[in-house]
Amino acid sequence: MENDYQRVRRTLTQEFDAAVKRRDAAAALFDEVRRDTPSGLPHPDGTQRIANASRDYSAALQEVARAAQRIADFQIRGIVPDDIKMGGSGTRT
């Protein structure tokens, strides 16, 4: 049977793994868009594609950083994020 500590750790690890996958996908898309402009001078909608890919990659990086911080806060300080606490009791596990 999974205890509260194991459940929280599993949830945070899954959140981190999913964030890393999104970051990797965003990085691949950004590289693909970048390679589509070999001259370095994209046409107007190419500029927008680059901006969109860059924005998505930046957001994915922030998501990985947030997930890593949540794991660190839990493992080092024992802080359980409010969104995954059992019953919202506010207690630390």
For 41-81, write each residue's pLDDT tens digit. 657 777 888 889 999 999 999 999 999 999 999 999 999 99
Q: Quick one: which of 81, 60, 63, 65 has its CA closest to 12? A: 81
Residue numbers of the domain that contains 38: 4-79
60 is a domain residue: yes
**Cα(52)–Cα(47) distance, rounded to whole angstroms?**
9
90 is a domain residue: no
Residue 74: the pLDDT is: 96
pTM value is 0.80
Number of domains in the chain: 1
Q: Which has more pLDDT, 88 or 67? A: 67
